[in-house]
A and B are shown apart, each in its own frame.
Chain A
Amino acid sequence: MKFLPLIFLAFIFGFVVPGSVNSQESKLTYERAYQDYTYNYDIYRKANSEYESYRLQYLQYKTLTAQENAREATAKMLMTRDEVNKTYLTAIRARLSETGGITDDKKDSLYAQIDSQVKWFSNHKDKIPSAGSLEDLIKDSEEATDYYQAGEFTIYDSLVTISMGKIADIRGKQEKTLSDIKSKVSEIRDNGDKDTAVLERWILDTENRITRSREKELEALAILPQLKSKQGKINIGLYDQIISKLSESLQYLRDANSFMKEIVNGIKFED
């Protein structure tokens, strides 16, 4: 009995405190990943401007010193470029994990693609210091360019999935609220102390808006496979079209929400 408070404290520190630390860490994941990405992008920008400057010096003087300086600056730039790709993809992964409304299958499929790309850029970065000449570095750069272009679709697929997830998440919650409203209105109709004809018509209008939102989302989804052209390049115009369709989808949800607000007022006040 004497040790009971001590056991209680041990329980608190053993289970509750680490649990809260873990939950804080998982909450900050995207924020940290994004900070990491922007920090590395700043380093890359400096390295790239150094590369540009030493490249010009080498092209102008063609001395061995200028060549060595250009080699070092290029290697540094390529390594920071790989690091930017790694941290950028990690930030996208973190954003995907924090966004609701995305199916587990879709998440898992994108995680697998992102993880393999992160691994590739990590290995590529480790390989760069061994390049002995400017020609080797040019080859390393071309290798990374080809790999990036081949995997660029994954980035846009993830971005579209995040946007769709945000909308689907809100729509899911709205559908639940609308279901609660429907059951309440049906209860009022059974009580017979209030005319529910108008409220029921408004419910149909709200359902219609939610259906239109889903239709717009499907239209956006239909464009996604065409995003990658036959030459392997991403068509940014089509990406913008997808975002525009999703914005329309979101607008329908805004309408549905204001309708629900009116229905609730209709329930709360006499006819």
Chain B
Amino acid sequence: MKSWLTTTDHKRIGLLYFWTAFGFFLIGGLEAMIIRAQLIKPDGGLGVSAETFNQLFTMHGTTMVFLALMPLSAAFFNFIIPLQIGARDVAFPRLNAFSYWVFLLGGLFINVSFIAGPLFGADRLSVAPDAGWFGYANLTSRQFSPGPNVDFWLLGLQILGIASLAAGFNFIVTILNMRAPGMRMLRLPPFTWMALVTQFLIITAFPVITVALVLLMFDRFFGTHFFVPQGGGDPILWQHLFWMFGHPEVYILILPAMGIISEVLPTFAKKPLFGYTVVVYSGVVIAFLGWSVWSHHMFSTGLGPIADSVFAGTTMLIAIPTGVKIFNWIGTLWGGQIRFTTAMLFALGFIAMFVIGGLSGVSHASAPSDLQQTDTYYVVAHIHYVLFGGTILGLFAGMYYWWPKMTGRLLSESLGKVHFWLTIIGMNLAFFPMHFSGLLGMPRRIYTYSSGLGVTTFNQVSTIGAFLVGLATLVFFWNLLRTRWQPVTAPSNPWGGSTLEWAIPSPPPVYNFTVIPTVASRMPLWKTERHAPMAALPERPPAPIHVPGGSWWPMITAFGLPILAIGAISRTLPIVFVGVAVVLVGIYRWAFEPFEM
């Protein structure tokens, strides 16, 4: 127990990230199930009130984006990146532990709002955030949202931002500076490359939302008018700041999954990644363009024809590097010896579903058509094809691919295939009809609809599909748990992968590599035209290896942040001071504790 609380081992932190994020994924999924059950018939199938419904869709979006998808990617960054680059750990192991604890506590802080009502004198149990996951001004002002709901949201997201930023600095340095000899930048595995691009997006995008949240905090706590029209403030500024973060965030969510796909497809097609360099550069181009498109979320605010045209153009441009990647993945499959393992099925599912989401995305890029689609279920269909059909299918591919490496145990392939088919059928039943209900005029975020709207059947199909996805997720959960109860031991390289993580035992020993390997090619474990496979590493370390010990201070410092937030939300200055003191003491003890790398 103590060793897990104080751990600075990137593999253990990776597993902590995985289980925590998977827990939040189940909570976010449960919220989705309630939403869909409510919408199964006109006038509400579950009797959920409008207030509760607002909380459910807000928390579903916030949870899935910040507490499930990002940290599930982070689980793989933590576990896999040091192994792929031939390192013993990340550059700053204690900072890494800090990121995890801040993420866990920030996630708990937001979710506590579900039962915190009585503490705030509310007449209901739940005071969860209820202004939507992008919290548009001036709905979030004290005037229109008087309760603590939005405060939980804005304080929680600031805490989570600290976790992401700290991890971002850590992984940039790890990837650039901790590579094994011979691991040049253009020999990095594509997953690590996409992770690097993602970290640059994180450290540039998160400060922007931090500023937006701080300004909102000043509006709500101290009575400023940054987003309040009565005082001259402009609610549209919130949209600019939010989407300046929000659009890079979309690529923060999808690029890691694209990286996973670029590992899985070559392994199971037994061919090198087609056009590796172009795939890498396309990822970089996507990130750059991702910074120039934010206003396509705001066409309906009336930006004017020049701005509309520019942002429509830049948005359509992104289809080019994305298309390049898709054709390269297909090129990888072409003529390969394909093995349809579960990981491979999810990777193929990613390509197909992401293309659908990408196409509806291009249809938003056109400002006139976007005006028809804004705030309808068509947008909900799009976001779920890219974030579920894209990111989550990609993450599932990664789970089946790397689970044996992470735990030393194989997941059941037959249960995996049940999981895959239930997921793919369920998600298409759930999300495809939303294109139609949206174009027929069904607005997003309504808690009931009337039978005369003509969207009843579409909604019923969507609900059935959503429950199939829920069932599929339970199958997957069962599959995970089964590896504990009925373990099937995994060899070091069960899939015949080409990258360094497969050169060491499953699960890897605490020091990862007995000797740091020297890398001579992009696929060190495969025979290529010019290179023989890397020689096997010795089974025992020839010299003693120093492994850094654990530390309490990252976790203790992290605890200061929710204490600070509790002080702020309850307007209790002494608690704020306690939070500051905990952070200060934590940082000083951390800085001065003997910790040898």
Is B one of A's binding partners?
A: no
Chain A interfacial positions (CB closer than 8 Å to B):
none
